Amino acid sequence: MDAGLYIVGTPIGNLEDMSYRAVRTLTEVDLILAEDTRKTGILLQRYEISKPMLSCHEFNERSRVERVLHEIDSGRAVALVSDAGMPLISDPGSRLVQAVREAGFFTTSIPGPTALTTALALSGWGQDGFIFLGFPPNKSAGRRRLLESLQEESRTVVLYESTHRISKLLADIAELLGDRPVFMARELTKKFETLQQGTAAELTLFLESHSSKGEFVIVLGPL
């Protein structure tokens, strides 16, 4: 395997979504950079892959750059994975990838699923273009400013949100965007996958009688 950085997409939930190429790549590289080595360890065990791992997350990514550059310069192949889905899609890795490319080393991507495209396909709203904004700001003021900026946005909008803030996000959408249609996807590809469409107010009522645990993708329908 050529020395360089291999950006590997992994399943967003269901481990059977791992591609043949991703399995082969992780089997052949010399080192795997993982956002959380414990979570990646479960995936590697499922496919009987035994490779050295090194954590690489938002708090230590900068310090990992020199190590990775040294590994590649020494002729080694390094894989980068996130906890789920494609690295760098609302996940760490930007500094590392840019540094490797700027150093002139080989870089490639082994594509895999993302919650973004999975939810967009399920919503049925992606055919005329969309914008992806990742996670909205944690604080109320920042989140509300973001939503206010979308009041005249006619394209489909995709957001990520955590279980701890989903109710606050839906409340702000209801107040600031009114009855704009919303598609909500929770725990995509997992056993308790939940898909629901309605206004933000209707989805708030839905969550009052259903589980709100897990990771959410919120898709605002086009105007």
| Chosen domain end from 81, 110, 139 | 110
Note whether 51 and 44 are within 8 A (CB).
yes
* Residues whose CB is less than 8 angstroms from the CB of residue 17 and which lie 6 or more positions away in sequence, other chains included: 11, 112, 113, 189
Average of per-residue pLDDT across 58-86:
95
Choose the final residue of a domain: 84, 110, 136.
110
Nearest-angstrom CA–CA distance, 52 and 95: 22
pLDDT digit string (tens) for 183-204? Answer: 999 999 999 999 999 999 999 9
In terms of domains, do 21 and 55 share one?
yes
pLDDT of 121 reads: 96
Question: Same domain for 104 and 121?
Answer: no
- CATH classification of the domain holding 66: 3.40.1010.10
In contact, 56 and 92? CB cutoff 8 Å = yes
Q: Is the pLDDT of residue 96 over 90?
A: yes
Read off the pLDDT band of 213 (50, 70, 90).
confident
Q: CB–CB of 40/34 below 8 Å?
A: yes
**Is 110 a residue whose pLDDT tops 90?**
yes
Q: Which domain holds residue 24?
A: 4-110
- Among positive and negative, which fits the CA dihedral 156, 134, 39, 76? positive
Report how far residue 221's alpha carbon sits from residue 198's, in angstroms, rounded to the nearest whole number: 10
User: E strand or H helix at 185, and its extent?
Assistant: strand 182-186
Residue owning tokens 């080393």: 105
pTM of the model as a whole: 0.92
Within this chain, do residues 104 and 120 fall inside the same structural domain, yes or no? no
Of 55, 90, 110, which marks where a domain is finished? Answer: 110
Question: pLDDT tens digit string along 7-53?
Answer: 999 999 999 999 999 999 999 999 999 999 999 999 999 999 999 99
How confident is the model at residue 58, as a pLDDT? 87
75 and 164 share one domain: no
